[in-house]
Structure formats: C-alpha cells, structure tokens
A = this chain, B = another copy of it.
Amino acid sequence: MEIKVLKDILNANNQIAEQNRQLLTSKHVMAINLMSSPGSGKTTLIMRTVEQLKSRARIAVIEGDVSSSIDAEKLGQVGITAVQINTGGGCHLDASMVNSALASLPLDDIDILFIENVGNLICPGGFDLGEYLRVVILSTPEGDDKPHKYPLLFSQANALVVNKTDLLPHVGFDMEAFVRVFQGLNQQAALFKVSGITGDGIEDWGEWVMINLQKLRTQNSTR
C-alpha cells in the first residue's frame, strides 16, 4: 500500500514534469536542475554564471528551500530574477511546485532557467522537474567519498561541478580518487573543477552551459 501510494505520487509528478518540459521547450527556455548538499555553493555558482553570461543569455532562477527566502533575496539584490519556493519540510522540489513557479516567471524573456533544488544529496534524485539538464555540485570539504554514499544523484548527472577548489590545500580531498569513483558511476557527464569564490574554472563551465543552450536551440529550430 505504501509502495502503491509512492508509485502514484511519482506517476503524477512525471506527468506534470512533462507539461513543464513542453512549456519550457515552447518558450525556448533551457532549465537546469541544480542539486547538491546544503552549503556546497549552488547560489554562488549561479551568481558567477550570470556574471559571465549576462551579455549572451537572459538568466532567471527558481530557488528551492525548506524555509526562508535568503537565496532569492541574495539574487534579487544583484538584479537576478528569482522566484522562491518553500517546501515547508519537503526534502526536494517536485514538478508541481516548479509548475506554479513557472506561472510567475516571464518565460518569453528567459533563455536559461536555473532551478536550485533543496540542499539534499538524496531526495531530489527521484523527481523529474521537466528540466533539460541535471547538474550536481560537490564541494571539496564534503570529501571525495560522496559518490560511494549517494550513487543515484551522481549517476544521473549531465555535469558534475566540483566546487570550492580554493579549499583543496586545506581539506583532505583526493581529486584523483574522486574522479575515478565518479566516472565508475557515470561516464557521460562533463566534469568541472571550479571555485565560486575566486572564479577559477567558471569560464569552462559557463561555455558548457552556452553550448547546451545552442544545442537546444538547434533542436527546436529543426522540429
């Protein structure tokens, strides 16, 4: 019975995710579902990316948090359009929450939509939001063993961003071991090593985002 209910929830979620995907495609918006542990630097990465790409793409953000609107306010202060979703206890965004947020965004004026999921390495994995890309961030202080412990999220990612490389001299993060384990789970994903604080490595990441936007536009124009 428990399993039945869970299946119903997932089916309903997938249907709404498909609606979100169709709406985003029709508006030529590329949505990126950004997932990580709490405090690994999702918001800072978004701010850096906007800084780099603002002359080439119009970027907006959906912010997911259990509680508070700190991140949406932080983005708003630097002029980034952001809608906050509070899950009120839930450990992930779902397609229906994103659907509501989409209704309040000017989709005709957006090229890239970052969806910052709730800080969690487990729950977001099961819920399609209608995104075009899934990106996982891992910060170096969290340790290189995380793909072992949380395989689902890492195995689903289109890109993996190792953030806080500026802290590498101060934390015991074995990059070689990490890459080996991660690529054992996921050979397709692009891999970026960045520092949201110094800006190191952000350019390569930003270019990858732009290449994907170009790809999406080509797909749309040949439909």
Contact = CB atoms under 8 A, between A and B. Distances in A.
Interface of A: 1-2, 5, 9, 37-40, 65-68, 70, 89-91, 118-123, 139, 141-143, 145-146, 148-152, 164, 166-167, 170-171
Nearest to A197: B172
Contacts of A91: 91, 120, 122-123
Contacts of A2: 5, 9
A29 to B, nearest CB: 26
B37 A149 contact: no
A58 B70 CA distance: 43
Given A38-B149, A39-B143, 5 more contacts: A2-B5, A37-B38, A38-B142, A70-B145, A170-B170
Contacts of A67: 148-151
Contacts of A37: 37-39, 119, 142
A143 B66 CA distance: 16
Nearest to A8: B2
A86 B67 CA distance: 28
B149 A65 contact: yes
Contact of A5 (B5, B122, B164, B167): B5
20 contacts: A37-B119, A37-B142, A38-B121, A38-B146, A38-B150, A39-B139, A39-B143, A39-B146, A66-B152, A67-B150, A70-B148, A90-B122, A91-B122, A119-B121, A119-B149, A120-B121, A122-B123, A167-B167, A167-B170, A170-B170
B66 A150 contact: yes
A149 B145 CA distance: 25
Contact of A149 (B68, B150, B167): B68
Nearest to A166: B170
